[in-house]
């Protein structure tokens, strides 16, 4: 409605009391409304509009445009089911996250590794930054900013002692970039965690009679695990202009799968007893 876009009594689909005075002043100064009906009739039309556009419907429209447009729905739905699906997903929207949302933080399962060597650490563990093309440098800066904004990493101060550094590279696939830490040297000196992780083929044998299978994945699952203060000294990454350290568990560390599996098994014991498969 043109009226709504030019006369902002509405905010989030409801009357904004701070704006009503403008409508009342139109009785003495019609130019304020740029030709629209003055006074009480103006407020009445805005009120009628607010009844048509509820805050929930506005939020649903935003949810559909910002999140559902990224989803690929592969179900064979009827027209009625397809029309009802957005509202159903909106009611359960807390279960869905996007890359722009804040990460969860799992408390009580802080990650810590053990190295099989003592100080002074070998020079192999203090590696310089890898050379990178201008294109890769630009991509690295974008990834670093994203991790900083999410609270996954912080910048190491210039006065802090740095004993272990891991270089990072950019992996490209179909013009999409992914930042990867080359943790091979650190993994060589890390004591392995022997906690069992399930094998896919063994897991599949547990669900042969299932009529329906629902799967859920965590957003940046490793990054939702906090690392200890001691562990942070091992998880320092270096690129051409700075050194950062991880506050959350990174991808590529030797014991990351074992740590995550242990954490999931301890958090969801009831689910495991009901036949959940946590992989």
Q: Domain map of the chain by residue range?
A: 2-95, 106-273
**Alpha carbon of 128 to those of 79, 113, 122, 136, 164: distances in Å?**
58, 22, 13, 17, 10
**CATH topology assigned to domain 106-273:** HIV Type 1 Reverse Transcriptase; Chain A, domain 1 (3.10.10)
User: Regarding beta strands 106-111 and 225-227, do their DSSP bridges make them parallel or antiparallel, or are they unpaired?
Assistant: parallel
182 in helix, strand or coil? coil
User: Residue 108: phi, psi to the nearest 5?
Assistant: 90, 5
The share of the chain scoring above pLDDT 90, in percent, equals 36
The reported pLDDT for the residue numbered 50 is 46
State the average pLDDT over residues 170-194.
94
User: Residue 167: phi, psi to the nearest 5?
Assistant: -75, 155
CB 26 within 8 A of CB 42: yes
- What is the pTM for the complete model shown? 0.65
Count Cβ neighbours within 10 Å for each residue of 187-211 and write b for 16 or more, e otherwise. bebbeebeeeeeeeeeeeeeeeeee
33 pLDDT higher than 60: no
Across the chain, mean pLDDT equals 77
Query: Residues 47-72: pLDDT tens digits?
Result: 454 445 556 677 777 777 776 776 66
204 pLDDT higher than 80: no
């Amino acid at each position: 409605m043109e009226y709504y876009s030019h006369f902002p009594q509405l905010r989030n689909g409801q009357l904004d009391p701070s704006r009503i005075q403008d409508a009342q002043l139109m009785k003495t100064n019609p130019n304020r409304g740029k030709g629209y009906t003055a006074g009480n009739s103006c407020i009445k039309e805005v009120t009628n509009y607010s009844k048509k556009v509820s805050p929930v419907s506005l939020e649903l429209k935003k949810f559909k445009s910002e999140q559902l447009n990224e989803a690929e729905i592969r179900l064979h739905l009827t027209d009625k089911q397809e029309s009802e699906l957005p509202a159903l997903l909106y009611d359960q929207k807390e279960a869905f996250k996007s890359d722009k949302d804040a990460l969860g933080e799992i408390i009580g399962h802080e990650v810590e590794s053990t190295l099989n060597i003592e100080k002074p650490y070998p020079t192999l563990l203090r590696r310089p930054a890898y050379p990178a093309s201008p294109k890769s440098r630009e991509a690295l800066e974008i990834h670093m900013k994203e991790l900083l904004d999410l609270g996954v990493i912080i910048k190491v101060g210039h006065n802090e002692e740095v004993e272990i550094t891991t270089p990072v590279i950019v992996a490209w696939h179909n013009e999409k970039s992914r930042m990867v830490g080359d943790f091979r040297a650190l993994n060589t000196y890390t004591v392995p965690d022997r906690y069992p992780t399930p094998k896919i083929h063994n897991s599949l044998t547990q669900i042969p009679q299932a009529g329906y299978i629902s799967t859920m994945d965590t957003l940046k699952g490793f990054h939702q695990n906090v690392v200890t203060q001691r562990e942070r000294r091992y998880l320092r990454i270096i690129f051409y202009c700075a050194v950062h350290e991880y506050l959350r568990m990174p991808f590529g560390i030797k014991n990351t799968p074992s740590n995550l599996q242990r954490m999931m098994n301890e958090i969801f014991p009831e689910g495991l007893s009901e036949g959940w498969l946590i992989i």
